[in-house]
Amino acid sequence: MTLMLFVNFSYSQNVGIGTIDPQANLDVAGSTKTTTLQVTDGAGANKILQSDGLGNATWVTSPVPNINYYNLTSSSVFTSTFSYYVNISDLIVTPIAGTYYVSSILNYSCSSAPNISFALSINGNVISNTEFTGINETERSTISIQGIVTVNGTQTVSTVCRRFQGDPINITNRSMVLIRLN
């Protein structure tokens, strides 16, 4: 086994490992391995290392997502049929433009096959890929709907329901979570 270590001390007091022309105080050409790395300049509680496009790292305050959480335990009874979507949850207003994770969970019960659909909506428009359609479950069921949405500003988010036929549907234990991702 041959061990080769090239260490170069330049006139400018730079040290190079694996390079003959070090460009920084310590210039390593290759990978490094350490059990502990301590970067003290700018360090502080709740900070994270963030790099720029050149790989330069600086400590920045950790971004905390803006979380709006709503938990509704009231009950709603829908006795008529409707071929369009209607709100079945309180409206949540997005505070600012951005990308949000939205999750809605609700329990419903119905004594006959209700042929219902649930979805998430923004300003009354169904969000694509969040629609549960043609549900014909009887008894008690739980529906969970999630989606990632991008909004341009203050907009309303809600859970909506469409019901074509069947006995009255009872919706209980509704909850909705809205988390700003950026």
* Tens-place pLDDT, residues 131-146: 877 666 666 678 888 8
CATH number for the domain that contains residue 110 = 2.60.120.760
List pLDDT tens digits, range 26-49. 888 888 888 887 888 888 877 888
Ramachandran assignment for 167, one of left (phi > 0), alpha (psi -120 to 50 degrees), beta (any other): beta
Same domain, 114 and 131: yes
Domain around 1? 1-62
The tokens of 16 are what? 């190079």
**Strand-strand pairing, 92-93 and 116-122:** unpaired
**Strands 92-93 and 82-87, sheet pairing:** unpaired
Q: What are phi and psi of 25, to 5 degrees?
A: -50, -45
How far apart are the C-alpha atoms of 25 and 10, rounded to whole Å?
10
Predicted pLDDT of residue 117: 80
* Overall domain count for the chain: 2
Say what the alpha-carbon torsion angle 115, 109, 73, 85 is, to the nearest 10 degrees.
Answer: 10
Domain match, 17 and 101 both:
no
Choose the final residue of a domain: 44, 62, 80: 62
Q: Are residues 132 and 156 in the same domain?
A: yes
Q: What is the pLDDT of residue 72?
A: 47
Question: Do the beta carbons of residue 163 and residue 82 sit within 8 Å?
Answer: yes
**What's the CA gap between 130 and 38, in Å, rounded?**
45
